[in-house]
Chains A and B, each alone.
Chain A
Amino acid sequence: MTKDELLVTLKNIVKPYIQDEEAFINLTENTDFINDLKINSANLVDVVLDVEDEFDIEIDNDAMEKMLSVKAAIDIITTKLNEK
């Protein structure tokens, strides 16, 4: 999976939880889930669980700790996919 494909998949995953449409339309690697997309922090758990389901990977606690931005999520997913 290319980075662009990964970004599209991730965008679809976060879509149901975002509360800032404009930030979502302008989403880049630097977008922050909470500060920019205004995702409720409890819904960040859903993002993590949806990522696990979609990519069939396990996001352990250490990885989850860092999952605050699009860039961090992409890095984590890429690492976990490579470990498979």
Chain B
Amino acid sequence: MIGNDIVDLSVAQKQSNWLRKGFLNKIFTETEQDLILNNNNPHQLVWQLWSMKESAYKIYVQQHGKRFFAPNKFECTLENQTQGIVTLDTQKYTIQSKITDNYVYATASLQHQAKVESFCFKIEDTSASNQRTTTYRQLKKMVHKRCNIPILNLKIKKTQAGIPLLYHGNKRICFPFSLTHHGNYGAIAIDDNNLIRTSTGLV
């Protein structure tokens, strides 16, 4: 299982005022708040940690099929600039981040050895429906390229818990992937080893 999350930094600046009273408290642990307030780029760190929590949460929902909103239960530990761990109770999620001037992006996986491949892309029209269709199209394109399935035969449906599943006609293609979009950016993350095995019929 994998999870991912992207934050468009300039859109986040417009959408959220993290300096608002109570905001940091609802999302971050005290240790995380200290990290943020002592960092020389607090805006970037707020959203880096947020994307770490969200990407881990996306795995949690796949594990348990249950949605909830408790960002401060997911505790972030940074190993270096781009690697970290998110802990929820006894579960640990391994996080890999990518930080650019325009966005911060995180992928979460359950094991260190998962080979998560990500593809980040720009979305010009930021309406909610276009963000979704663009992100879906990118996933279909990637699966089409690697597995040689016509794009028109690929469909994405969401479960009640909001987890996207990929179908070839009526048949589900089972491989780990995660989708995210925010503002002008979107990303897909796939478990590369698994997709190749799926497409060659070894699963």
Contact = CB atoms under 8 A, between A and B. Distances in A.
B182 A40 contact: yes
B27 A45 contact: yes
B16 A68 contact: no
Given A19-B128, A20-B128, A35-B162, A46 B69 contact: no
Contact of A42 (B21, B50, B68, B72): B50
B70 interface: yes
Interface string B10-44: 00100110001111001100000000000000000
Query: What secondary structure prevails in chain A residues at the interface with B?
Result: helix
B26 A45 contact: yes
B69 A41 contact: yes
A20 B16 CA distance: 18
A52 B20 CA distance: 13
A48 interface: yes
What is the size category of the interface that chain B forms with chain A? 20 to 34
A67 B69 contact: yes
A49 B128 contact: no
A64 B26 contact: yes
A46 B54 CA distance: 17
A8 B127 CA distance: 26
B71 to A, nearest CB: 8
A42 B69 contact: no
Nearest to A40: B15
A68 B27 contact: no
Interface in B39-70: 50, 54, 67-70
